[in-house]
Amino acid sequence: MPITYKTAADIEGMRLAGRLASEVLDYLTPHIEPGVTTEALDQLAHHYIVNHQGAIPAPLNYCPPGYTPYPKSICTSVNHTVCHGIPNAKPLKKGDVLNVDITVIKDGWHGDTSRMFVVGEASIAAKRLCQLTYEAMWRGIRMVRPGRRLGDIGHAIQTFAESQGYSVVREFCGHGIGRGFHEDPQVLHYGRPGTGESLEPGMTFTIEPMINAGRRDIRETGDGWTIVTKDRSLSAQWEHTVLVTPEGYEVLTVSAQSPAEPAPSTT
């Protein structure tokens, strides 16, 4: 599939979809506390997306080749779940870490973003993993500008994560996005600088590193979707949808309560 370069009108559609996706996370934030189930969060999100935003939850019944249809409207990945966790009836408990991944379709355009949440009060190690994964994502985002290459993004994320004693999941990556949920290019979260596709204005893609506290090895569970760490170590992920602009980048998945961008580090 060739890379699609977005026009000015396309970008307006992407901005709206991206903002709506982020606003779902804003809406869910006060509900994420000990005792709530991820199934309840899914129901809240579905109602908000469909009835308040007039949008479509992209994951619901999403069915790429070789998969069964995804049964819920959001993905909720708890503790050692890496990605694609299916909402269920198990209550969240104090100390859990949770990734909530939202993708909405508005007027045919996709907005895709995720955040980490700490349920109640978590351990210092869990909070550190969430914080440094967020910084790893931003180190990748800050590499985006015309003339750079996809490998520059992956290298920035990998070298930072590994310098902190963490590992980077290799089997899943960021992706182009627009009228399609998953488009080209693939955006790896590891790699060598100066390699891969050249970045050009009008490209839109996600940057969504999955960082493990232990080894990078993963496995799929029996439901056909949920991915967990093999060693049951904690995993964290953050995701933004990014536009390549003539001057650099624009993050499209921002809203009133988006976490602040971390201060650039000199290390």
How confident is the model over 153-179, as pLDDT tens digits?
Answer: 999 999 999 999 999 999 999 999 999
pLDDT in tens, 235-260: 999 999 999 999 999 999 999 999 99
H helix runs in the chain, sequence order: 8-28, 38-47, 124-141, 150-163
Structure tokens at 72: 């819920």
3-class secondary structure, 34: coil
Q: Report pTM.
A: 0.96
pLDDT in tens, 123-151: 999 999 999 999 999 999 999 999 999 99
Please indicate, yes or no, if residue 257 is contained in any of the structural domains. no
For residue 209, give its domain range: 8-251
Mean pLDDT of 57-84: 97
Q: Which residue has the tokens 């104090």?
A: 94
At 43, give phi and psi (nearest 5°). Answer: -65, -40
Q: Which residue has the tokens 């890496």?
A: 82
Is 60 exceeded by the pLDDT of residue 266?
A: no
Residue 38's pLDDT is: 98
Please indicate, yes or no, if residue 225 is contained in any of the structural domains. yes
Please indicate, yes or no, if residue 238 is contained in any of the structural domains. yes
Is 90 exceeded by the pLDDT of residue 1?
A: no
H helix runs in 29-123, sequence order: 38-47
Structure tokens at 122: 């978590």
CA gap 53, 258 in Å, rounded: 18
3-class secondary structure, 31: helix
Please indicate, yes or no, if residue 27 is contained in any of the structural domains. yes
CATH number at residue 240: 3.90.230.10
Q: Is 131 exposed, middle or buried, given 0-12, 13-18 or 19+ CB atoms closer than 10 A?
A: middle
Q: Count up the domains in the chain and report the number.
A: 1
Please indicate, yes or no, if residue 44 is contained in any of the structural domains. yes
